[in-house]
Structure 1
Amino acid sequence: MTADRHGQRMSGTGAEALVHYEQALDDLLFFRPKVVESARAVLASSPRSVMGQVLAAYLGVLATEEKDAAAARDAFDRFRSGLDEGAPTRRERMHLAAAAAWLGGDLHGAGRILGELSVAYPHDVLALFAGHQHDFLTGDARRLRDRIGGALGAWHEDDRHHGPLLSMYAFGLEETGHYERAEEAGLAALAQHPQDVWGIHGVVHTYEMRGRFADGIRFLDARTDDWAAGTLLTVHNWWHYALYALETGDTGRVLEIYDSALHHEASAPVAMQLLDAAALLWRLHLAQDDQSARWARLADAWESRRDGAHYAFNDVHAVMAYVGAGRLAQAERLVRDRESWLAGAAPGVSNRAMTADIGLPVCRALIAYGQGDHGRAADLLLPLRHRLHHFGGSHAQRDAVQRTLVEAALRAGRTELARTLLSERIQLRPVCPYNWSAQARLEDRLGDPERAAHARERAAAQASGS
């Protein structure tokens, strides 16, 4: 029986397959597209490799693509049907259980098993990576931080994969509000591997949350060769760049990024990229910036996928696209489909609660907003604002929904609610041009031109970086 470089035994894995497996882990941690090729090479060399099969299973679910997950589940079930359950090691049996749970729709069960794996085997980088991505997809910020933090103490700093672990830890720190420590950890990771795009991602999140838009642009510009092309995270990091540009008021640059990087004729119709495009255009939609042609192309892309109920976070962004394109009938059809699915969904499927508790109410709110029924949109979103994380994503991603609540309250004339929401936002993020421009509109509605002018001055000053 072979063993990986940390001495962890690998059942059914020959020496050649082990080389491919180590390469696949490296590709996975650095978000290289060739990870799929490397993972296939493991199984081509050793079809009965337990960890090779587990890796293939995780790759099938991490992108939240329904068809990929179904194909991975079929392949995994075929492998399990011929497996002597006593042959794999304890670590491998735990992985098999985690992969089976995830492929069966029990994300939270998979996350618990992966957590147990990382306690017992802190050098199992696949368990750490899959667990970290799981925590992101389920919006569990504390686990996103502590799953990695709990393992880091077992790693030597000169290990090649210590840097990617720091990158993961940086993101967890950022999502739990430790922005300075997160920036420090992310930069330390990049000192080890400048092309660590997850480390870059973690640092740009810290700038976003602290209103350091100019710093974020300078940071990304200085590292363009490290992140701007050829990675699985390229589009998402361009999305972050566009958010910076949007806050500075440079709509021209925002649309340039959208057209060149986020969505164009050659864009792959994958959920992770389409939701970034929808989230960016939705922010422009909230600002009453008409992008009808771009919305139409994006809505076509979502419609062509013909998604079933798989991940509620994706559904919300599909509805954004349909509403933005004025295709309310398509948005309502998606909602009816998910309602029908819920009636027969198994209780153990995590997406059931994610859809029922968060996804569908948000979709209905977006439709109401598109219909001009801002009061209903506010009523639907208000009970969710402290629970949105339960359907996944980051604070930056979910802010599109939080801003929708603010805009709905303003447009419905709910001045007391708008005042409360904006006060919360400004106290938490005092450097945010959007917050101050919305505050100015509220003051106009309240009949206080002096306070409105002051808020507009704050917004303009922050957008210009002064």
Structure 2
Amino acid sequence: MARLDRLGLPLSTTSDLAAGRYREGVDLLLSAWPGAAEALEQAVAADPDFTLAHAARARLHAIRAEPAEARARIAAATDLAARHGTERERSHVETLSLAIHGQPARALEQALAHLENWPRDALILSLPLGAFGLFAFSGMADHDQARVDLCERHARHYEADDWWFLTYRGWSHAENGAIGRGRDLVQRGFDLRRENANAAHALSHALYEAGAGEAAERLIEGWLPGYGRSGPLHGHIAWHAALGALERDDTERALALYAEHVQPSVSAGMPVNVVSDTASFLWRLQAYGHAVPAGLWQAAADYARPVFPQAGFAFADAHMAILEAATGDREAVGRRAAALAELAGAGSLAAGPVVPAICRAALAFAESDYAGCARILEPVAAEVVRIGGSGAQREMLEDMLLLAHMRGGEAAKARALLDRRLHRRPSPRDARWRGMLAA
């Protein structure tokens, strides 16, 4: 009797135990929930020749920024797939291998081709989706639309009550501007499986984009205590609550959340989340007129420096420049911007010239050269989307340009930017800035 995964695709294992642990492990992986590693290791222990269990374990290592372990496990999966894997398994493993070995463009191409044949292969469908997926980090300016198109293309292959697909389909729509539709889809997914950090995260995003920041805070306050600190999104979801508190000018609450859940010494999140969450929170805190407690900038920079020492990862580079500028490391920002400009000039940086421009603008802002910041950032503002991440994450750079206009004496440009934002996301912060400009 064939063993099947949760979505009905065959598994090449003769062990019921291995198949069961694999289904459990993949669901935990797709919900960003603790326990995935243990379940997948049990699947491998029950059947050491189980190709897809090795492959899923490799994917989890990659998510956790453990590249050596990821490469070792995907090598084992590749060998097993070549010896006795099915066509789907060989394609599945090849796609993951390309992503793990730092070939995102080829991985995206292979994933899309794979999904034409096996659209219910959720682990592969997950690769292009999300704020840190292959689409987001492709350098595309329309990656939000690309995610929606991919989900809609394959929606007919998923049941109406598939918690995972509802989550990612909804998040894709919300990020692309269809906030009501996206929120409804995500809410259904969350209701079906509340032990799903991706759904809690997606719902927080949808509420934030709808201007319902306090509702997002309440959601997180009620849900986060049930999500273990080892969960990869624990600190990042708390960051969303801290942003909400900061928008309301409740700095005491915002700093308490940062101290308890977000700062590097307490977060077990993915390094890219820890770096981006700390840099963007502290930048907002300072830019909104509040003092950053002593040592917080330096602690964040000390964590980040060995994690992303080389330029070339656009989303991380933007946040590294924020940290380097804030801690007065002018030379580091300059080196990063120069290296990124060289990569962009050689066509080796998918996001292109916007990335070194962001680095230079961040330094100008930190040094109170607001006219210079605006001069650098304004021409590339429409290209910021190319660095990837979510709208909530990239909003920091829009705030940087807005404040540069305000502080640099360009009130008309600041008002025009606020007018455009009004049609996207209602914000109490924007209302206060509008009042300042009117005064």
- Place the TM-score, normalised by the shorter chain, in its bin: 0.7 to 0.9
Partner amino acid, structure 1, of 2:262: L
TM-score (structure 2 length as normaliser): 0.88
CA displacement at 1:204 relative to structure 2: 1.5
Partner amino acid, structure 2, of 1:295: W
Give the match for residue 367 of structure 1. Answer: 363
Contact 2:61-2:67 within 8 A present in 1 as well: yes
Percent of residue pairs bearing the same amino acid type = 23
Give the match for residue 330 of structure 1. Answer: 332
Equivalent of 2:372, from 373, 376, 379?
376
Give the match for residue 275 of structure 1. Answer: 276
Pairwise mapping of residues 251-262 of structure 1 onto structure 2 (< 5 A)? 251-262=251-262
The alignment of Structure 1 onto Structure 2 pairs a total of residues equal to 430
Pairwise mapping of residues 183-262 of structure 1 onto structure 2 (< 5 A)? 183-227=183-227, 229-262=229-262
- Could you say if the C-alpha distance between residues 309 and 85 of structure 1 is closer, same or farther in structure 2, counting changes exceeding 3 Å? farther
CA displacement at 1:395 relative to structure 2: 0.5
Asked if 1:101 corresponds to 2:101, the answer is no
Q: Distance in 2 between matches of 1:196 and 1:268?
A: 17
Q: Distance in 1 between matches of 2:230 and 2:76?
A: 33
CA displacement at 1:174 relative to structure 2: 0.6
CA displacement at 1:325 relative to structure 2: 2.4
Q: Distance in 2 between matches of 1:263 and 1:382?
A: 31
Q: What are the Cα deviations for residues 94-120 of structure 1, in whole angstroms up to 9, with x where unaligned?
A: 223322332343323322322233332
CA displacement at 1:302 relative to structure 2: 1.1
Contact 1:4-1:10 within 8 A present in 2 as well: yes
Give the match for residue 115 of structure 2. Answer: 118
Give the match for residue 49 of structure 1. Answer: 50
Partner amino acid, structure 2, of 1:328: R
CA displacement at 1:432 relative to structure 2: 1.1
CA displacement at 1:78 relative to structure 2: 6.1
Equivalent of 1:433, from 421, 428, 432?
428
Give the match for residue 387 of structure 1. Answer: 383
Give the match for residue 35 of structure 2. Answer: 34
Contact 1:54-1:96 within 8 A present in 2 as well: yes
Q: Distance in 2 between matches of 1:117 and 1:267?
A: 35
Contact 2:362-2:373 within 8 A present in 1 as well: yes
Give the match for residue 458 of structure 1. Answer: none
SS state of the match for residue 307, structure 1?
A: coil
SS state of the match for residue 132, structure 1?
A: coil
Q: Distance in 2 between matches of 1:155 and 1:84?
A: 26
Q: Distance in 1 between matches of 2:339 and 2:388?
A: 21
Partner amino acid, structure 2, of 1:326: G
Q: Distance in 2 between matches of 1:303 and 1:268?
A: 17
Contact 1:182-1:202 within 8 A present in 2 as well: no
Q: Distance in 2 between matches of 1:327 and 1:249?
A: 29
Give the match for residue 462 of structure 1. Answer: none
Partner amino acid, structure 1, of 2:383: R
Asked if 1:265 corresponds to 2:265, the answer is yes
Asked if 1:156 corresponds to 2:153, the answer is no
Partner amino acid, structure 2, of 1:319: A
Q: Distance in 1 between matches of 2:258 and 2:86?
A: 47
- Could you say if the C-alpha distance between residues 98 and 403 of structure 1 is closer, same or farther in structure 2, counting changes exceeding 3 Å? same
Stretch moving more, 53-62 or 288-297: 53-62
Q: Distance in 1 between matches of 2:368 and 2:123?
A: 47
- Could you say if the C-alpha distance between residues 380 and 228 of structure 1 is closer, same or farther in structure 2, counting changes exceeding 3 Å? farther
Q: Distance in 1 between matches of 2:273 and 2:14?
A: 32
Contact 2:354-2:380 within 8 A present in 1 as well: yes
Q: Distance in 2 between matches of 1:304 and 1:338?
A: 18
CA displacement at 1:304 relative to structure 2: 3.8
SS state of the match for residue 359, structure 2?
A: helix
Q: Distance in 2 between matches of 1:358 and 1:326?
A: 22
Q: Distance in 1 between matches of 2:63 and 2:264?
A: 24
Contact 2:32-2:197 within 8 A present in 1 as well: yes
- Could you say if the C-alpha distance between residues 380 and 87 of structure 1 is closer, same or farther in structure 2, counting changes exceeding 3 Å? farther
CA displacement at 1:23 relative to structure 2: 1.7
CA displacement at 1:403 relative to structure 2: 0.7
Equivalent of 2:146, from 143, 148, 157?
143
Q: What are the Cα deviations for residues 309-357 of structure 1, in whole angstroms up to 9, with x where unaligned?
A: 45221121122122222333333343345456668x8x6x6xx223x43
Stretch moving more, 4-13 or 403-412: 4-13
Asked if 1:405 corresponds to 2:401, the answer is yes
Q: What are the Cα deviations for residues 11-67 of structure 1, in whole angstroms up to 9, with x where unaligned?
A: 46754432332121111122123222333334444444332233234334445x3xx
Q: Distance in 2 between matches of 1:416 and 1:172?
A: 33
Give the match for residue 299 of structure 1. Answer: 301
CA displacement at 1:369 relative to structure 2: 1.5
Q: List gaps (5 residues or longer) in structure 1.
A: 444-450, 453-466
Stretch moving more, 298-307 or 22-31: 298-307
Q: List gaps (5 residues or longer) in structure 2.
A: none
Give the match for residue 461 of structure 1. Answer: none
Give the match for residue 67 of structure 2. Answer: 69
CA displacement at 1:85 relative to structure 2: 3.8
CA displacement at 1:177 relative to structure 2: 1.0
Q: What are the Cα deviations for residues 386-428 of structure 1, in whole angstroms up to 9, with x where unaligned?
A: 2222221010110001111111222222334323212212243
TM-score (structure 1 length as normaliser): 0.83
Equivalent of 2:410, from 411, 414, 418?
414
Stretch moving more, 53-62 or 7-16: 7-16
Q: What are the Cα deviations for residues 150-185 of structure 1, in whole angstroms up to 9, with x where unaligned?
A: 333223346xxx112211111111111111112211
Partner amino acid, structure 2, of 1:119: E
Partner amino acid, structure 1, of 2:361: A
Partner amino acid, structure 1, of 2:289: Q
Query: CA RMSD of the aligned region, Å?
Result: 2.8
Q: What are the Cα deviations for residues 113-164 of structure 1, in whole angstroms up to 9, with x where unaligned?
A: 2223333223212122223242344472123233333333223346xxx112
Q: Distance in 1 between matches of 2:287 and 2:279?
A: 12
